[in-house]
Amino acid sequence: MAFFTLRFSLFFLVLLVVQGKASCDYDATAEKYLLEDLNLYRMSLNLPNFTENSNAACLANNIASQLKSETCKNAFHYSSTLGTKPNVTEYDKLMDGCDIKENHTLQGVILPVCVPRLDPFLVLSNYTTPQYAKYLKDSNYIGIGIGSEDNWMVIVLSTNTSTGNFSGVASLIANVSMGKSLVVLFLGFLVVSAVS
Ligand SMILES: *[C@@H]1O[C@H](CO)[C@@H](O)[C@H](O)[C@H]1NC(C)=O
Ligand SMILES: *[C@@H]1O[C@H](CO)[C@@H](O)[C@H](O)[C@H]1NC(C)=O
Ligand SMILES: *[C@@H]1O[C@H](CO)[C@@H](O)[C@H](O)[C@H]1NC(C)=O
Ligand SMILES: *[C@@H]1O[C@H](CO)[C@@H](O)[C@H](O)[C@H]1NC(C)=O
Ligand SMILES: *[C@@H]1O[C@H](CO)[C@@H](O)[C@H](O)[C@H]1NC(C)=O
Ligand SMILES: *[C@@H]1O[C@H](CO)[C@@H](O)[C@H](O)[C@H]1NC(C)=O
Ligand SMILES: CC(=O)N[C@H]1CO[C@H](CO)[C@@H](O)[C@@H]1O
């Protein structure tokens, strides 16, 4: 715990220093530290590190770009209910743009948070609340894509199976219950607002 606190303090100093730089540098730094912290969290649970999934990262970035113009206040509008797609404009196009076939996303989860200036303490603490942590703790999720824009951080978790690896390769539909997969995907699309 002390280790985490120290890391965060250092990160905060780094943030103060780089704040004047381009926002994409800022975003990339926040994403890099988040990935490291999530992998430390996984290590503490004896789970393998997340490996970066470039398709999932592409989707995470696209979703973050879409959400960028939304204020944190409206974040809960983006939570999704069973059987609906994430409430993001042209979600299908976002997937196509990343060369992802929808059949390969069924078991994936999309976890956005909205935190002013992506304060790393609050971002990580939001991801480690039970409703998101249960996915981070799940050994089925081995891949990760992280995207961010302004106040939005989006994590897309992928599995090592054809129904969740965000592949662009077409495949026969896997023999899983569609309804169950949709629950997994869309329960995951919960939006966290820091300003509620
Ligand atoms: C897992 O990630 C942590 C944090 O980035 C790193 O320190 C560690 O070396 C990684 N472990 C492996 C096996 O890659
Ligand atoms: C989707 O988001 C918009 C804001 O962009 C909101 O007005 C609308 O109510 C949301 N729809 C649902 C079903 O949450
Ligand atoms: C993913 O699955 C393949 C084949 O099932 C296996 O060879 C590979 O080691 C797995 N990767 C991880 C990170 O579990
Ligand atoms: C994802 O699954 C598809 C279909 O099983 C497979 O062809 C592809 O190699 C997998 N991709 C990754 C990155 O595991
Ligand atoms: C994707 O899943 C649908 C059913 O939801 C199926 O009809 C379609 O053939 C599948 N496509 C591929 C490329 O596997
Ligand atoms: C798919 O699952 C059903 C039961 O859920 C089973 O009857 C069927 O044989 C399975 N098909 C394949 C190809 O595994
Ligand atoms: C779900 C969750 O933990 N949301 C929190 C995200 O962080 C902000 C700022 O600390 C909190 O206000 C939210 O409750």
Tell me the pLDDT tens digit for each residue of 140-162.
Answer: 999 999 999 999 999 999 999 98
Q: Which among 168, 145, 167 has a CA at the least distance from the CA of 156?
A: 145
Q: How far is the CA of 77 from the centre of ligand 1 (A)?
A: 35
- Band of residue 54 on the pLDDT scale cut at 50, 70, 90: very high
Whether the CB-CB separation of 76 and 196 falls below 8 Å is answered with yes
Reported as a single tens digit per residue, the pLDDT across 99-150 is 998 888 888 888 899 999 898 989 999 889 888 898 899 999 999 999 999 9
Residue 143 CA: nearest ligand 3 atom is 13
Ligand 2 contact, 68 CB (< 6 A): no
CATH topology of domain 2-195: Pathogenesis-related Protein p14a (3.40.33)
Sign of CA dihedral 10, 11, 14, 16: negative
Domain segments of the chain: what residues? 2-195
pTM here is: 0.71
pLDDT of residue 16: 40
CA distance from start to end of the chain: 28
